[in-house]
A and B are shown apart, each in its own frame.
Chain A
Amino acid sequence: MENNKKKAYLILEDGTVFSGYHIGAEKQVVSEIVFNTSMTGYVEVLTDPSYAGQAVAMTYPLIGNYGVNYSDMESDKAWPDAFIVREIADVPSNFRCETDLNSFLTEQGIPGVSGIDVRALTLILREKGTMNGMITTDENVSVIDGVDSHIKGTGNDYVINKLLPKIKDYKVQGVVKRVSSKEIKDYTPGDIGSKKCEVKRKIALIDVGTKKNIIRSLLSRGNNVRVYPATFDAKEVIEYAPDGIMISNGPGDPSECVDIINEIKVLKDAHIPIFAICLGHQLMALSHDAKTYKMKYGHRGANHPVKDMITGKVYISTQNHGYVVDEKSFEEGIVKPWFINVNDKTLEGLIYEGKNIKTVQFHPEACAGPLDTGFLFEEFEKMMER
């Protein structure tokens, strides 16, 4: 029962305080608060490196129902600074369940708060945009005013004077280097749960925060994969003579990754087919001197429709991004739009004219989310066959 648990608070930089109960590891964190609308796949979300530097709130209220199965992890650890839910399951149930979510969070060193009206939180983020917040069990915090002070209110003087300055100060920084692998790693079909099959090609994967299922999706289609850390040297990659280069997803503000962008400038002219996902898509655009900007509250969920501008077909995609490429910032003749978001018409994919480069903002590797755009890995194969 929730009322036997320790009180915990989520304090937003605008002074709003949500009252809930402590879950996971016992520590205080400041982070950027984002919401995710996926109804399943909290393990995949927690282990997606793109969430480094952020605290994730799940809009679906019942989280932890099927516990945690370690093989569902999308990287070796959980990345968000904190996890925010309405209700966490005490009794998980699934035939593959290895532990419950609360134990997993604790073991991963991730604090969290449950009993939060995540919908009310989401409404604030939607209206005011993504903002920073703190998750704490500090007993000096209290909620003043508001008839529903057990749910939400304004912070007391302690919050305003002591905590808010710290919260406002926070900025997501240096996250790509944190999540990227530290050294080159080689994988072959059959590894990390992929399908064993004949090796047809070799691919260089630039890991700026890759999810395992990108690697797995490449392996299962008969590719050896060499994973390069974010500190890669473009010449070294070209010397490896891969059949294709994949640039992965990842966290943070893409414009911050100046070194990586410079290396990609070299890769893009190497006449090697390149496919890029999410952060990779943004970095490729930046390496063509285009611009990215921060969206009000981003796209995070498993229900985003994207339209293929060539075929007119619409697919449901998994998304996790706070920044987006500004299509208008390209010089004429460099790109043509491949996908756009049906809801807000933002750019979701690019075809680089005269080059064998294609990039998408969403996640064809899914996990969590629909498998509709998995065919893009075959598209990449076709690019390599040309």
Chain B
Amino acid sequence: MPKLEGIKKVLVIGSGPIVIGQAAEFDYAGTQACRSLKEEGMEVVLINSNPATIMTDREIADKVYIEPLTIQVVKEIIKKEKPDSILPNMGGQAGLNLGMELSESGFLDSVGVKLLGTSAETIRNAEGREEFKDLMERIGEPVADSLLVEDVDTGAQFASSIGYPVVLRPAYTLGGSGGGIAHDEEELRTILSNGLRLSRVGQVLVERCIAGWKEIEYEVMRDSLGNCITICNMENLDPVGVHTGDSIVVAPSQTLTDKEYQMLRTSALKIIDELGVIGGCNVQFALNPNSFEYIVIEVNPRVSRSSALASKATGYPIAKVSAKIALGYHLDEIPNAVTGKTYASFEPSLDYCVVKIPRLPFDKFIHAKRTLTTQMKATGEVMSICTNFEGGLMKALRSLEQHVDSLDTKEFSSHTDNEVRDELHKVNDRRIFAIAEALRRDISMNEIHDITSIDIWFISKIKNIISIEKSLKEAGEKLDADLLREAKRIEFPDTYISKLTGLSEESIKNLRYEHNITAAFKMVDTCAAEFASETPYYYSCFDGLNEAKGESEKKKILVLGSGPIRIGQGIEFDYCSVHSVWAFKNKGYETIIINNNPETVSTDFDIADKLYFEPLTPEDVENIVRLEKPVGAVVQFGGQTAIKLTESLMKMGVKILGTRAEDVDAAEDRELFDKILEECSIPRPKGHTVYTTDEALKTANMLGYPVLIRPSYVLGGQGMQIAISDDDIREFMGVINRYHQDHPILIDKYLMGKEVEVDAVCDGKDILIPGIMEHVERAGIHSGDSISVYPAMSISEDIQKVIVDYTARLARALHVVGLINIQFIVFENEVYVIEVNPRSSRTVPYISKVTGLPIVDLATYAILGESIRDMGYEPGLYKKSDYIAIKKPVFSFEKLRGAEISLGPEMKSTGECLGISKSFNEALYKAFEGAGIDIPKYKKMIISVKDADKLEAVGIAKRFKKLGFDIFATKNTARVLNEHGVLAIPINRINEEAPTLMDLLLEHKIDLVIDTPTHGDKLKDGFLIRRTAIETGVTCLTSLDTADALLTSLENEDDSIMSIVNLGDI
């Protein structure tokens, strides 16, 4: 059947800022869906508050609204744009919830807008706990027994009726705090009473415990005629108990017989058919490893993180097909874009093994609890493809970029055998390494299985890796071709073989080439080679014949992707990579992309001319370079991941396009950079490079505290800290030196001024600055965590001129061709440079969108030799927009138990949203709204500030008082406030007698906590207060500047209708 009648204009809802659990996958899905709709001639209107996305590009949708994802805003857009239908299932849970609310309130009906795809009723049946349970019971599909209780006795009664252990999940506590597994009634009573107290609604779910079962997922698809297919199934290496987003996952399932596979497949299809899902859907199962018993864990009637993974694992474009199905097409009418010959109504067959490993943020939050639970903590993930599982695991490990190229991290090497056994009991991101160490110690596979419940099949594969490790160690310099071939078959990198054998990497490489042990590239074609395919989507292996053809008529450009999403390196870099690919394509080049992140647009098979899904290490990249022989590579768009490969690429003889490597180095190398600054007569805060703690102490004392301390060559301020004492220096040097540092450590005088940032395009001669951005928070808070305002509001014309001038001087001195990002501090009317990055930055998508300047494209053309004037632009600062755009960072602290939330020089935010308006106040209000900061409910707040902030806090408190807030404060803060005539109620510290601050928070009547941390107060009151606030869903600000901005937003809150801004009108 052809598509539905009368659909001409579709509103697509995006997923908003990136948070843990809702990340880049929705940019991928949304972008694919929009392109798919446009292919059908639809006019597409898009709303998403996240400016870092590709979907919010003017090329992707006809109308783009970067506005807060609220009911009010979506209603306004519908009224203005008058779409005939709305597609809500591409924007994750956020998008789906909005669509539901619009539909259920009757609004959509009242304006005659159709909900495309899965119906509201279906969504309710799938998402509502009770509705879902009822439906499953009706169709005879098993779910875990559970009961929502409000008191301990009912819980205990229910638990004994279903049998221990039971899982306790408090309702409405973020991050799963207060929950846990109870093995007996005593444990239940303790956990349950605590959970009831922590829950905002005083409810806890008591559920049968199925921890240790196999966790299996099916990605399924259904069209409006009821045709159902499975795209892919996936098996979690980590048994039930760890969120699938935090698990190591393989596709397809490895340990299921056909009977089990088909049993679950049939169940999944029955469920979506019964629900009446239209489009893609994810069904999660727990399977008893010792019987055919299974339980349906969850159904997600929308595209999801798992569906992005399944799309990349199979080559089947789930979002694209879902969008077509939403328009009314049937599966057998939609061509399979991969083969070009078959149709979407078939099930992909894989002839390789896919491994996904989550990227967890514990390197950023060293104090956060590493335990993995049913609350997802990963910020991103990597995927690898290989002909065997061992190889897939090895490739994925090195794709993580966590200083690991194997299963040997040495972290357990000095443990006793029993300590290693203890590590096996800990369910965390280190467990896979602990298993490897246990196998190294000859702890039996059965014992490891008994402790971890991980299937023996996986353990046996890890054991294969360990035995090759041993063989290589034994062989040493006598390494022969057979062993080397076997080691490469399971993807041991040369670096690791070198470490094990003592041979140099160079001689291993030579031995490999001598025996033709080289990587071959195989195609991902959805059909296990059954049909000829055109898609140039490849992975490497060492035990097969090469299929990728290196010859081409066109000149080839290699674009390096940015790897897994992590704090400090998010989708902004994917945005840049994709845009540069498009720009090169425009100019007639053949583009090749290498990346390993399944959540991104860049790894969609129709972005570049060729896609290699591979780790981004020198060896893996070299394999591709040997085949493809590109005329050059661009590294400036792929974040630090790509920059790090510069030197290796040059050694391979690949020309680095744009800014030269020496100049990139000059920006990072302290001495070279100081020289350049001196030549340009640009001041910077005083500082020095050091290698040892002693040197660091000497430098710090010479400069005078406070000082800024950080490793060089990092992104996102990794490891950066403000030190105010010798003790701090010692602690921070210790933390930085946990990993071997190839580069020196920088120590600078810390100036607490206004921070300003620019991105610029340079053609080698002239520069073009799209705009100057100003940070709301004072210097010292990472730029990625600061609220950023474009155009700069409080910087005088003169200072702006200085900034433009400095930018031009620096770009020229560094011979920048392409992009440059510079951060300045304006301190006592003097402009200082604090950081220069001759590459793309986090703010590139943001500034591109609000100024309308396609700066990645311009940078790419500059790299190809065009001048700014040729491109039709006047060098210098681009004209100021009539609109003000305010970027607000968004954090995921509630997901990371034990993480310190106070802001500092190390970046902690996971995403951002934008507020755009002609008025500053409205833009600010939109930014807070978009970040989900919804304040006045009880009009009660807590203020606790460090001594240095106390006087400044008076003004802030006064303004809150004026807005009608009751203020509670710690004793000293209260005293200062009261002394200055602001009524504040003093409250006891946690260890004093009740009621204390903690009790106040747990009454769930506080809207806001302002707590500026005293340095090093972890484990003290401040830390506990901040954590408790976050875990009970209370907004907590740790900078007075942020509080000031929030006040401005609240003071100007106006219930009248907000303006909405179509990006195209800017």
Contact = CB atoms under 8 A, between A and B. Distances in A.
Interface of A: 1-3, 35, 37-41, 43-44, 59-62, 65-66, 69, 72, 86-87, 89-96, 115, 117-120, 122-123, 126, 147-152, 301-305, 307, 312-316, 342-343, 366-372
Contact of B353 (A62, A94, A119): A62
Nearest to B468: A1
A117 B572 CA distance: 39
Interface of B: 1, 225-230, 252-259, 261-262, 265-266, 269, 289-291, 330-332, 341-343, 345-353, 387-389, 445, 455-457, 460, 464, 467-468, 471, 482-483, 485-486, 489, 516, 520, 522, 527-532, 543-545, 547
A117 B544 contact: yes
A303 B227 CA distance: 14
Given A65-B255, A312-B330, A3 B353 contact: no
Given A123-B547, A314-B229, 4 more contacts: A90-B460, A119-B528, A120-B545, A342-B343
B258 A367 contact: yes
Contacts of B342: 342-343
A293 B230 CA distance: 31
- Count chain B CB atoms within 10 A of each CB in A72, A91, A122 and give the residue with the most: A91
Contact of B527 (A37, A72, A117, A366): A37
Contacts of A38: 258, 349
A-B pairs with lowest CB-CB distance, top 6: A41-B258, A91-B460, A59-B528, A303-B347, A93-B457, A368-B258
A89 B486 CA distance: 16
Given A40-B257, A91-B456, A371 B262 contact: yes
Nearest to B458: A93
Given A37-B527, A93-B460, A312-B225, A65 B532 contact: no
Contacts of A59: 349, 351, 528-530
Given A342-B332, A371-B266, A120 B345 contact: no
B387 A61 contact: yes
B492 to A, nearest CB: 13
B457 A370 contact: no
Given A59-B351, A316-B347, A117 B262 contact: no
Given A307-B332, A371-B266, A314 B347 contact: no
Contacts of B252: 39-40, 60
B750 to A, nearest CB: 55
A122 B532 CA distance: 11
A61 B388 contact: yes
A216 to B, nearest CB: 12
A81 B331 CA distance: 38
A122 B776 CA distance: 61
A39 B254 CA distance: 9
B219 to A, nearest CB: 14
Contacts of B291: 95
The A interface is mostly helix, strand or loop, or mixed, namely loop
A115 B530 contact: no
Nearest to B259: A72
B227 A314 contact: yes
10 contacts: A59-B528, A60-B350, A60-B528, A66-B255, A66-B457, A87-B387, A90-B460, A91-B456, A91-B460, A315-B227
B387 to A, nearest CB: 5
Contacts of B331: 305, 314
A120 B353 CA distance: 16
Given A1-B467, A147-B516, A343-B341, A305 B332 contact: yes
B266 A37 contact: no
Given A66-B255, A369-B262, A3 B486 contact: yes
Contacts of A117: 543-545
Given A39-B350, A305-B343, A151 B545 contact: yes
A370 B346 contact: no
Contact of B530 (A61, A72, A126): A126
Contact of B545 (A90, A152, A302): A152
Contact of A37 (B259, B343, B349, B464): B349
Contacts of A151: 543-545
Contact of A316 (B346, B456, B467): B346
A236 B261 CA distance: 41
A312 B332 CA distance: 9
Contacts of B227: 313-315
Contacts of A96: 257
Contacts of B489: 2
A119 B257 CA distance: 22
Nearest to B483: A3
Contacts of A312: 1, 225, 330
A40 B289 contact: no
A99 to B, nearest CB: 14
Contacts of A302: 347, 349
Nearest to A86: B387
B269 to A, nearest CB: 8
A169 to B, nearest CB: 28
Contact of A61 (B259, B261, B352): B352
A115 B464 CA distance: 16
A3 B460 contact: no
A367 B263 CA distance: 11
A43 B256 CA distance: 13
A52 B266 CA distance: 30
B259 A150 contact: no
Nearest to B252: A39
Nearest to A97: B257
B522 A119 contact: yes
A115 B543 CA distance: 8
A302 to B, nearest CB: 8
A123 B547 CA distance: 10
B351 A314 contact: no
A58 B367 CA distance: 48
A314 B445 CA distance: 45
A314 B332 contact: yes
A383 to B, nearest CB: 23
A126 B532 contact: yes
B257 A305 contact: no
A37 to B, nearest CB: 4
B257 A314 contact: no
B140 to A, nearest CB: 15
A148 B520 contact: yes
B531 A303 contact: no
B903 to A, nearest CB: 47
A313 B226 contact: yes
Given A93-B455, A343-B341, A343-B531, A62 B257 contact: no
A384 to B, nearest CB: 25
Contacts of B544: 117, 119-120, 151
Contacts of A343: 341-343, 346, 531
Contacts of A95: 289-291
A378 B975 CA distance: 83
- Count chain A CB atoms within 10 A of each CB in B227, B229, B529 and give the residue with the most: B529
A95 B255 CA distance: 10
A312 B457 CA distance: 42
A35 B527 CA distance: 12
Contact of A3 (B1, B388, B482, B522): B482
A71 B532 CA distance: 37
